[in-house]
Structure 1
Amino acid sequence: MPTSLPRVAGLLQELVLPVDCTGCGLAGPALCAECRLRLRPQVSRRTVAGLRVASALDYAGVVQPVVVAFKNEGRTGLAGPLAVALRAAVAAALDEVDGDGLLLVPMARTRRSAVERGYDPVRLLLRRARLPHADLLRLVRRPRDQVRLGREERIANLERVMAARPAAAGARVLLVDDVVTTGATLTEAARAVAAAGGRVVGAATLASTPRR
């Protein structure tokens, strides 16, 4: 598969062009020492539609521009510290359940988004964290962009958008995603797994938006 334009741009910026810190904007490395410290995981927990979710970081301050750059600007060089954080969230989620035979399952992805980026952010982090995963979820229709949607709109937008593959039957699943906002994506993923005969025991995310 040819390398995507965002990934090419990100690689050029990191390897060739002068860069500023992705977190604070100061001249220097792509991630300065102070911002790297702010990416150290501090796991928080919340409940989404009865599902316990462990998140490594608050999606605010330095974390937000770093995650956006990693997800949308091809800045894959940021995967290292973010993978450490995601691994901490997964470990915290596993502390609350019996991990034997548990499958880590990332969210469904569109082929188009993977081609445009040249990588899938969550799956890349799982690989960097050396966490095996199972691709049990698929999209049965493409939802609208969620960025400007409110809670109720997100829920309606994602209603029955996913289906789980037959291998989900009888499986115990820990869902994995990058950022939990309203929890609509995780809620829909859990529904799809349950509809296929599996059981979601929890979720882990890289970051969580501040709750209001």
Structure 2
Amino acid sequence: MPPALFAMRPLRAALLDAVAVLSPTSCAGCGRADRGVCDECRVSLAPSVGVATVDDLAVSFALDYDGVPRSVLASFKDGGRTDVAPHLAPALAAAVAHALDAAGQGPTRKGFAARTGASVDAVHLVTIPSSRAAFRERGFTPVGLLLAHGGLRAERALFARRRAADQVGLSAVSRQRNRSGWLAARRWVAGERVALVDDILTTGSTLLEARRALREAGAVVVGAAVLARTPRRHPSATTAVVRG
């Protein structure tokens, strides 16, 4: 570590202590007082990128949805803890970079939305739309916020053409039925290369539905990236993982 950065560490700790006094909080990972994410839990959020296969779709992931990552992500999505977004964003950015490398597109911070001057070979990042109810409750879109903290942005290329039930607690078969025909593309995207981005990979039914909708609109889906995968709910992810 450069001497200048080493010297800044005590200052950073002092600033965090001052913030904790003015606005008490607790670690989203372990509950320890006075830190949004404590130093020990931050280590558990360091990306270790792997690859899962859903059908024939390659999905890059950075974390296992278990332990500290699960607690922090749950606090972020369902507990309104937007203060932990900067601690989760690097892992999602690492998964995205891996997916783009695998697609033959080097990682870049210039954005991937259509009509931004990117080359015709650029890979457009596309996120899964949140339901209106979820957006009203949270006030933000989790994946979009994490991408923004990582210096990335995605195109809103999909919309929900019908309501779908919450996936929590559904079996793999029920998840697939629940998502079948749920999404549609906002416009014709013939020939565009697309990488899907989501937060958690379980059975993969949501990603496969998004791929179907984009393919029907003419897109070429080259891969996907998620923040975390659920190993016990997705056997193919367990057997196909590649650490890097």
- TM-score, structure 2 normalization: 0.78
Residue aligning to 1:65: 71
Deviation at 1:101, TM superposition (A): 1.4
Which is worse superposed, 107-116 or 153-162? 107-116
Percentage of matched positions with identical amino acids: 47
Is 1:118 paired with 2:139? yes
Residue aligning to 1:41: 47
Deviation at 1:112, TM superposition (A): 2.8
Corresponding residue SS for 2:197 = strand
Taking the TM superposition and a 5 Å limit, the aligned residue runs for 1:20-39 are 20-39=26-45
- Misfit runs of 4+, over 6 Å: none
**Distance of 2:95 and 2:143 partners within structure 1:** 13
Is 1:206 paired with 2:227? yes
Q: 1:96 to 1:15 in 2, by over 3 A?
A: farther
Taking the TM superposition and a 5 Å limit, the aligned residue runs for 1:170-185 are 170-185=191-206
Residue aligning to 2:175: 154
Task: Decide which structure has the larger Cα Rg and report it.
Answer: 2
**Distance of 1:190 and 1:198 partners within structure 2:** 9
Deviations 1:50-82 (A, max 9, x none): 100000100011010100010111100010011
Deviation at 1:109, TM superposition (A): 2.1
Deviations 1:77-107 (A, max 9, x none): 0100111110000011111112231100000
Q: 1:15 to 1:46 in 2, by over 3 A?
A: farther
Is 1:106 paired with 2:112? no
Corresponding residue SS for 1:94 = helix
Residue aligning to 1:11: none
Deviation at 1:146, TM superposition (A): 0.7
Is 1:191 paired with 2:212? yes
**Distance of 1:82 and 1:66 partners within structure 2:** 8
Which is worse superposed, 150-159 or 18-27? 18-27
Which is worse superposed, 14-23 or 160-169? 14-23
Corresponding residue SS for 1:26 = coil
| Contact kept? 1:136, 1:167, Cα under 8 Å | no
| Contact kept? 1:21, 1:32, Cα under 8 Å | yes
Is 1:141 paired with 2:147? no
**Distance of 2:29 and 2:198 partners within structure 1:** 21
**Distance of 2:32 and 2:131 partners within structure 1:** 35
Letter of the 2:198 counterpart: D
**Distance of 1:29 and 1:132 partners within structure 2:** 28
Find the partner of 1:163 among 174, 181, 184.
184
Deviations 1:142-182 (A, max 9, x none): 11111010100100000000001214222110000000100
Find the partner of 2:97 among 87, 91, 107.
91
CA RMSD of aligned residues (A): 1.5
Corresponding residue SS for 1:160 = coil
Q: Tell me, which stretches of 5 or more residues in structure 2 are unaligned?
A: 1-19, 106-120, 236-244
Q: Tell me, which stretches of 5 or more residues in structure 1 are unaligned?
A: 1-13
Deviation at 1:17, TM superposition (A): 5.4
- Aligned length in residues: 199
